Amino acid sequence: MARVRINKSLIGFIILIGVGLFAVRFSTPGRNALTPVEIWFRDILAPLQSGVTTVTRFTGTVVNNILSFKDLQAENKALRGQIERLTEENNQLEEYRQQNLRLRQLLRLEKMLGSQFELEAAEVIARDIKNWNQSLTINKGSRHGLKKGMAVITHQGLVGRISAVSENTAEVLLILDRQGAVAGLLQASRFPGVVEGTTDDSGLLQMIHLPYDAPVRENQVVVTSGLGQVIPKGLRIGYVVGIKPEPNGLMKRALIKPFADLDRLEEVMVVKAVKGGM
Amino acid sequence: MRTVILGASLLGSLILESTVLEYFKVAGVKPDLLLILVVFNALLHGCYHGAKLGFVFGLVEDVFIGKFIGLNALTKMLTGYLVGMGENKVFKENLLIPVFGLFTATFLNNILYVFLAGLAGVERNLAFYVWDVTLPTALYNACLAPLFYGKFYHSATKGYLRLSRY
């Protein structure tokens, strides 16, 4: 009886294997379509798979974020330090670039005026600490041959004149100062006048004591006249931006915008002498 | 209840294998959760139940995969049967039994898979399949045995997974 049962089991087993192999043979990837059972089974499981995948991805992201938090903190710190260093470096480079531009302009000025004047380059090291004076200090003094009264210019135009000299520094009285008046003339008409600072804070100059019929028009260029033997002749001062009659009705004055940017001076040239005399 | 739990385990394993376990690959392989269940069941309940569960689980897996239907059913059935033959010959409470059992069973199952696939006309790269798939999977499955065997053993002897007497 036992033998019969074993044989039956064996036969069933072999049949099962045969049927299985047959099924395998006819369910290769090349068949045209899935059976309804497979389709149904896949559709049943799909939402569950989708849900589990979503949760898994979310969990993975959270876990990754937590694990990488310390690294990110360290990286953040390092990057901040790097940004600070690079910003500082960038700032320094920008300073050098700006300085380079200014020095090029001064060099060009020296080339342009070098045949007429003996020039000395200087750096502005200080501004006037009081509000009522318009002056600045440069890093060259008597040791470099600077003397009181010498004209100070930039590539843009006249800045002022030296009002005091120490061994290594010189004080420059700007043309904006009422005490820094210079003799000027209208370049086109050669009409002379005195150029001085205004009393307000407009940053403008004024050419005073002009007769009411003086040929002054806006945009005319004003240059130094060389009178008084202090400032050399022909240095550009500014251009006329307005004309105002004096209260007495006989005279008028011209408002002049200086060419030189007197608020942002960093390097200047001192005219030490005029080659061949004034 | 046993059927419900095994059914849920079957579906859960299929879903896990197709989703979460993708993130837990070691040496390029995932564990074969269905095979682990079949082997545990065979170890604790013998040839007949091992083969039966192996056939059902394998068949459902084949339907799920949609290719070579019957291949996993046959291999898991044979594996379940062969593992079940050791039911009365080993000390089942020893944790090394499921570890070595799973390693051997996985190896055997995969070799059978290649053999039967060959009989069915499916070509396989034997060296790759043995060294790069079978061996790592066998090791992975064996490493998971201590994590689940205790609970399965408890449930299969005293809990919901024990066989009814009738």
**Residue of A278, A18, A273, A239 lying closest to B120 (CA atoms):** A18
Report CB contact under 8 Å: A24, B71: yes
| Interchain CB contact of B47 with A (< 8 Å) | no
> Which residues share a beta bridge with A258?
A238
CA distance B59 to chain A (A): 10
- Average pLDDT rounded to a whole number, residues A116-142: 82
The model's confidence at residue A6, banded by pLDDT at 50, 70 and 90, is low
Could A48 and B120 be called an inter-chain contact, meaning their C-beta atoms sit closer than 8 Å? no
Q: How deeply is A128 buried, as exposed, middle or buried, from its count of CB atoms within 10 A (0-12, 13-18, 19+)?
A: middle
pLDDT tier, A5 (very low <50, low <70, confident <90, very high otherwise): low
Q: Verify whether the Cβ–Cβ distance B15 to A49 is below 8 Å.
A: yes
**pLDDT of A1 strictly over 60:** no
Q: Which of B16, B55, B68 sits opposite A24 (nearest CB)?
A: B68
Helix B33-45 and helix B2-18, axial crossing angle in degrees, nearest 10: 150
Instruction: Give the 3-state secondary structure percentages of chain B, helix then strand then coil, rounded to 5.
Output: 75, 0, 25
Residue B58's pLDDT is: 93
Q: Can you tell me which residue has the tokens 């199952």?
A: B109
pLDDT band at A4; cut points 50, 70, 90: low
Over residues A110-127, the pLDDT tens digits come to 887 778 888 899 998 888
Min mean pLDDT across A226-235, A241-250, B105-114 is at: A226-235
pLDDT of residue A198: 83
Q: Is residue B67's pLDDT more than 80?
A: no
Residue-wise pLDDT tens digits, A162-184: 988 999 989 898 998 877 788 99
Q: Helices H, strands E: what count in chain B? A: 7, 0
Helix-strand-coil split of chain A, %, nearest 5:
40, 30, 35
CB pairs under 8 A between A and B: 70
Nearest chain B residue (CA) to A38: B63
- Asked if A183 contacts A194 with a C-beta cutoff of 8 angstroms, the reply is yes
The larger pLDDT score, comparing residue A67 to residue A248, is at: A67
Q: Which residue on chain B is closest to A53 by alpha carbon?
A: B19
Mutual orientation of helices B2-18 and B47-65 as an angle, nearest 10°? 40
Mapped onto helix, strand or coil, the DSSP state of residue B97 is: helix
Per-residue b/e over A134-169, b at no fewer than 16 CB within 10 Å?
bbbbbebbeebebeeebbbbbbbbbbbbbbebeeeb
Query: Which residue from B minimizes the CA distance to A27?
Result: B68
Which residues neighbour A274 within 8 Å (Cβ) at sequence distance 6 or greater? A116, A117, A118, A232
The distance of B108 to chain A (nearest Cα, Å) reads: 17
What confidence score (pLDDT) does residue A129 get?
Answer: 61
In tens, the pLDDT along B21-44 reads 888 888 888 999 999 999 999 999
Structure tokens that stand for A237 in this block: 């001062």
Residues 41-60 in A contacting B (C-alpha not used; CB under 8 Å): 41-42, 45, 48-49, 52-53, 56, 60
List the one residue out of A166, A119, A144, A123 whose CA is nearest residue A270.
A119
Q: What is the pLDDT of residue A92?
A: 93
Chain B residue numbers touching A60 (CB-CB < 8 A): 23
Per the confidence metrics, is the pTM higher than 0.90?
no
Residue type, A213: D
pLDDT in tens, A215-245: 888 999 999 988 877 788 888 999 999 998 8
pLDDT value at residue B8:
92
Tell me whether A103 touches chain B (CB under 8 Å): no
pLDDT score at A44: 86
Kindly tell me the burial class for residue A195, based on how many C-beta atoms sit within 10 Å of its own C-beta (0-12, 13-18, 19 or more): buried
Quote the pLDDT of residue A212.
Answer: 84
Question: Cα-flanking dihedrals φ and ψ of residue A276, to 5°?
Answer: 85, 15
d(CA B133, CA B107): 10
Of B23, B67, B119, the CB nearest to A21: B119
pLDDT at A89 over 80: yes
**DSSP class per residue in A79-134:** HHHHHHHHHHHHHHHHHHHHHHHHHHHHHHHHHHHTTTEEEEEEEEEEE-SSSS--
Are β-strands A135-138 and A117-127 bridged in parallel, bridged antiparallel, or unpaired?
A: antiparallel
